Structure 1
Amino acid sequence: MSKIGIEPVRKLQLIEATLKSIEEYGFQGTTIVTISRLAGMSSGIISHYFGGKQGVIEAAVRHLLDELKNGLLLRIEQASHPSPMDRLMMIVETNFSGFQQSSRASTTWLSFWGQATHDPALARLQAVNNKRLESNLRYSFCQLLADKQKAIEAARMTAAMIDGMWLRSTLSPPQEHGFQESERLCKEFIHLQVDRFGGDK
């Protein structure tokens, strides 16, 4: 395999090893040594590809963000001309998908949220995540509600509902049942907002 082909594979392996390290040791316990050991590579390759621990952790968080984005795009692509309400349901389903329920993803998200309050680079990624979720929700709500301000408010409330219910599900066993119930409640919340602010489903 050429060097061009090897590099993306090695980067992904290091990102996956970073997620596993955070799952096992947390943000603070994750080091270049723990990542390189789990990846089965030398510690120097992390600095070569990512510039150090901070770089590979940021790459791991971006990987989670990409999983969310690509998961939604795939659902939309597989649907046949989804309606605005369909898109809203897909956003909820993506945020409560199996990958987002996994221990590796949930542990990293929890650690990321806690660390973002102290780390400007991670705070920027958190802002991107928040903006993307609200923007996706707002796009569909604006098609359902005549009042743009009400659509913006509905998007903000729904984003908070999704984040809050995901967090509640992650911290409350049994997780699988909790995620299913949270997904149902978020979907119901969206329908209530459309009914409340006036619009056609």
Structure 2
Amino acid sequence: MPKVGMPPLRRKALINAAISAIGDRGSLDVTMTEIANRAGVSSALAHHYFGAKDDLIQATMRHLLTDLGRDAVGALNAAETPRDRVTAIIRVNFAVGQFRPEVVHAWLAFYVEAQKSAPLRRLLRVYSRRLYSNLMSGLIDLVPRPEAERMAEAIAAMIDGLYIRRALRDGLPRPLTAAALVEDYVETKLRMLAAS
């Protein structure tokens, strides 16, 4: 007889194992057996919970998006000013839990795989829209809408670029350093707009 409450724990263990395996490999070229072994369960049980590997990969990406979304909502709720809202979103994206090497590698692998996987592409669109919307929630009260839109796109591109640099181990930006680079851009842009 199965233990009560085990399915959610096993699902979570498999998702964490998938993040770890993808992070170590640097790609989605991992097997269900490898993931199951890392989670301490049989391959058959992994297939029971998720079906095919693609289903587990999609669940893993949804999990990362859910974690990021939860952290963003908490940070936005704590923000007192529009400028604080922008800072909150930048910091959330570079929080220690989000900017761990294995998570960064998983995101990079998802970006690559999304070029040929419609479900992953849809999930990445959700992420992009949410990031843009969260940034706009602060920027729209700081600068005219066209500038806010440009700044939101630039901030999002900087965040993605710093994730790529982290994944490639090029300079290994630390979370605080990465957030500071993006904040420098925001402050410089706001000063330029205020002076014009």
Q: Same fold (TM over 0.5)?
A: yes
Residue 150 of structure 1 corresponds to which residue in structure 2? Answer: 147
Residue 192 of structure 2 corresponds to which residue in structure 1? Answer: 196
Residue 120 of structure 2 corresponds to which residue in structure 1? Answer: 122
Aligned to 2:183, which of 172, 182, 187?
187
Q: Deviations over 1:127-171 (max 9, x none)?
A: 1111111110111111112x2222212211211122113322442
Structure 2 counterpart of 1:193, which letter? K
Residue 175 of structure 1 corresponds to which residue in structure 2? Answer: 172
| Deviation for aligned residue 1:194 | 2.4
Name the structure where helix makes up a greater proportion of residues: 1
Say which SS state the counterpart of residue 116 (structure 2) adopts.
Answer: coil
| Deviation for aligned residue 1:2 | 7.7
Residue 87 of structure 1 pairs with residue 90 of structure 2 = no
| Deviation for aligned residue 1:4 | 5.8
The whole-number CA distance in structure 2 between the counterparts of 1:142 and 1:191 is 15
Q: Any unmatched runs of 5+ in structure 2?
A: none
Structure 2 counterpart of 1:42, which letter? S
Structure 2 counterpart of 1:171, which letter? L
State the identity %: 31
Residue 108 of structure 1 pairs with residue 106 of structure 2 = yes
The whole-number CA distance in structure 2 between the counterparts of 1:40 and 1:128 is 32
Alignment of 1:20-169 (within 5 A): 20-77=20-77, 79=78, 82-145=80-143, 147-169=144-166
Q: Any unmatched runs of 5+ in structure 1?
A: none
C-alpha spacing 1:2/1:90, structure 2 compared with 1 (3 Å): farther
| Structure 1 residue ranges, 4+ long, deviating more than 6 angstroms after superposition | none
Q: Deviations over 1:35-75 (max 9, x none)?
A: 11111112222222222100111111111112211222233
The whole-number CA distance in structure 2 between the counterparts of 1:36 and 1:109 is 20
Greater mean alpha carbon deviation, residues 184-193 or residues 131-140: 184-193
The normalised TM-score by structure 1 is 0.86
| Deviation for aligned residue 1:26 | 4.2
| Deviation for aligned residue 1:191 | 1.9
Give the superposed CA RMSD. 2.3
**Matched pairs, number:** 195
1:101·1:170 contact (CA, 8 Å) conserved in 2? no
1:169·1:182 contact (CA, 8 Å) conserved in 2? no
